[in-house]
Structure 1
């Protein structure tokens, strides 16, 4: 019989658990000793987590939240800024419908390394690409019809909804898109390089818009509109805006913006709306990880659940028609305004210059109000195939408006520009621009230089 003392079993804690523990120390004022006792680890171990907190956050940001929950050891990623920039660029390009190959991704990664001013050497090898794809769960293009991965998530989604007893009124989705609010149809499409080199996008014209709705289409919080400036001259004196206006240097969604919106706007708004419907104040917001590093966002029985990375274009309801419909309506309103001004003998350049963020936010709010419950419910079918059979029928449907009937305004626009060879566009180009076949086009994507600027700041 051995007299050797039994070795103490090593306790492993995931990256997510470590960061949650550090949150408890900061927000709930727990001591390191209490956390150590709670998790069954040594006091010095928790002190080590505090020392490595920045590295833990960076690592979690580079991997999907689900993967972080299972990852135990901290592995440093070489050139993390290149990794992050390439991932942001990849997501922007996929929203525009771009087809991206391995060589294109590697070429873009090299561009980021060269322009981020990094001293550490970088080789965009096949090995790097393979690891990068694994970190971000990027696989071959999959379709909703034959993907086992999609089916697996459908089952998980159903389990979440049923276990919590949620109705379509209590299940939400939020997603963002870039909008160039002065953009008109062009004779030729820009490539991403042309946009960056020529400035064709317009320096201050791109804003980010995030739309959110429940699956029944009956609760639609005001749009979030993100511009580059805190107090744009055109709206700084307005007492009330029909949207929630935020600002960020590159006009994109950040961790702080999303987190503050969730706690201080989303939760209070839907709590009141659910109370009006005599429903329990519990809900889930399914969404992308907007730089939140997979952090647990929860208030009472209202929480955020992140959709699987690189599957949002397949599963994200807002990307299945809602955002496209929002843009179609907005562009029709914009076109009607331009035609009206052209008939008053104003030139196109003068008209576009007169359109400010003020017009944009009011037109966007009006457009969002005109997106029907039918459009929203249909868009949920990719994530919730049974939605239309279980949808709450307690609300009266808003009559559907045929926004595809744009023949008259297209002809009026062409007629108004018939003598303007530079700006006159054929009917096919105008209809393609109006009908928004993708969530955003290349003009509305963040350029590589804008991504770099944001990461440097």
Structure 2
């Protein structure tokens, strides 16, 4: 009779590659869990755990690329390893040649900045390389830079072959823009002879990434700020826009890779593949080892993105027009309450800005997006139409103009373009990379001028919520607006107030005074 130790099965450590094959086999219904467990020499409960952790397994496979490892091991120097990784991928995106000794020297430098006692060894370097899926490559000569005759030549000779086999709904473009999210018109109406004074220009900034398809039927938006955890985010369960951060509020290859890995997972679940056109900025280089099975990335030719990038043909302009319209409407409400421009700007925190970003992006119509793709010549030969800037604006009927905002055309243009030259990416120094790890929440509640954004947010009482709802109901009644939409909103508010209440007992209503 075999002893219990002999009967006990030997523990099997499956690699990421094996786990992916198990998940794919289950999706294809090619075998049962019992049969798959038998084929891999493991227990059926192991298969259950793999199914439960599918999202994490697929994310690890996409972001790491080394499918031979069994799991990503944690290190005593996680912050240091991550800092070195960010520096490495940023430098490789620019084509820098980096050897093992250079990495070890940089690790020593960053350890000093982090106040960590650390001496890099060959063992540490080997583990770091395995986790990052990095290996040594011998150079085989210099790669020549691509030479395009121009944007028109690229669109005529290169683009048609790139999009063969893709439907228009699967042709995407992505681009960033900087946004002064507190910016207001620079002037004011005044009586002749009066000399009004204004405050300093509000230059609190975030970076916005837009991603949309040719039909305008799918559009995504992401944000990057300076604060790691702004105070206004406290007690907020769902942000209107996905938020990332670093000390410059810049797009980095780290953030770019995270966004595309998540998008790739979504596309994988839909069994769908897309082609994504982007400019060749260094921040758009994926971390080495990242695999995106569902996204075909195509870099636009250098010095031509202003001509052939759809988002630059009027989509971002339309977004900013809507955003400025929304913030001016809020300013008008503040004026009616005798709130000064300076005090009003303090109320526009990052959370308020993200709500307006989401709302403004929703207001950019599919027709506007489609027109801008056509203006950039992202069309089939049979559908090619010469779209002028005026047509883009005219067909976006909801886009506000200077007259809607009550300002001059010159001031309207100045307001929309006030942040046009804002940098959206660049190279973070080692000190800035380390600062991103060392920043604490106590410093994140201040804007760049050192002023506190706001006090801690408190949940309104049920009475305050219901009083506000009554005010809205009166406005809907007197305006003759759509009551069906109000009723749906009212039901959501009632759900919120119910969730705020603790369960009461009937005896509480008969308690003695």
Please, which runs of 5 or more residues in structure 2 have no aligned partner? 1-61, 70-84, 100-142, 189-198, 385-394, 436-513
Describe the shift of the 1:216–1:389 C-alpha distance in structure 2 as closer, same or farther (beyond 3 A). Answer: farther
Please, which runs of 5 or more residues in structure 1 have no aligned partner? 1-22, 31-52, 69-73, 77-134, 140-146, 189-198, 392-398, 412-426
Pairs aligned (count): 294
In the alignment, the residues of structure 1 paired with residue 241 and residue 68 of structure 2 have an alpha-carbon distance, to the nearest angstrom, of 36
- Given the two structures, how large is their TM-score scaled by the length of structure 2? 0.49
Partner of 2:208, secondary structure, is strand
In the alignment, the residues of structure 2 paired with residue 231 and residue 25 of structure 1 have an alpha-carbon distance, to the nearest angstrom, of 26
Q: Is the 8 A contact 2:175 2:210 kept in 1?
A: yes
1:55-86: CA deviation from partner (whole Å, max 9, x where unpaired): 996775335xxxx9xxxxx699xxxxxxxxxx
Q: Could you tell me how far 1:287 is from its partner in structure 2? A: 1.3
In the alignment, the residues of structure 2 paired with residue 319 and residue 342 of structure 1 have an alpha-carbon distance, to the nearest angstrom, of 34
Partner of 1:158: 160
In the alignment, the residues of structure 1 paired with residue 302 and residue 150 of structure 2 have an alpha-carbon distance, to the nearest angstrom, of 12
1:273-328: CA deviation from partner (whole Å, max 9, x where unpaired): xx5xxxx6111111134525465754323232222233222222111111111111
Q: Is the 8 A contact 2:93 2:282 kept in 1?
A: no
1:317-367: CA deviation from partner (whole Å, max 9, x where unpaired): 111111111111000100111012112211111111111111100010001
Structure showing greater Rg? 2
In the alignment, the residues of structure 2 paired with residue 58 and residue 231 of structure 1 have an alpha-carbon distance, to the nearest angstrom, of 24
Q: Does 1:241 align with 2:239?
A: yes
Partner of 2:151, secondary structure, is helix
Partner of 1:366, secondary structure, is helix
Q: Is the 8 A contact 2:177 2:420 kept in 1?
A: no
The Cα RMSD (Å) is 4.1
Q: Does 1:282 align with 2:265?
A: no
Describe the shift of the 1:358–1:371 C-alpha distance in structure 2 as closer, same or farther (beyond 3 A). Answer: same
Q: Does 1:430 align with 2:411?
A: yes
Partner of 1:234, secondary structure, is helix
Partner of 1:401, secondary structure, is coil
Partner of 1:378, secondary structure, is helix
In the alignment, the residues of structure 1 paired with residue 330 and residue 363 of structure 2 have an alpha-carbon distance, to the nearest angstrom, of 17
What is the correspondence of 1:37-76 to structure 2 with a 5 Å cutoff? 60-62=92-94
In the alignment, the residues of structure 1 paired with residue 166 and residue 318 of structure 2 have an alpha-carbon distance, to the nearest angstrom, of 27
Describe the shift of the 1:360–1:389 C-alpha distance in structure 2 as closer, same or farther (beyond 3 A). Answer: farther
Q: Does 1:174 align with 2:174?
A: yes
Partner of 1:261: 259
Describe the shift of the 1:236–1:151 C-alpha distance in structure 2 as closer, same or farther (beyond 3 A). Answer: same
Select which of 20, 24, 27 maps to 2:66.
Answer: 27
- Given the two structures, how large is their TM-score scaled by the length of structure 1? 0.55
Describe the shift of the 1:446–1:301 C-alpha distance in structure 2 as closer, same or farther (beyond 3 A). Answer: closer
Q: Is the 8 A contact 2:322 2:400 kept in 1?
A: no
Partner of 1:335, secondary structure, is helix
1:173-230: CA deviation from partner (whole Å, max 9, x where unpaired): 1110110100112259xxxxxxxxxx96657x11000010001111112x11111122
Partner of 1:241, secondary structure, is coil
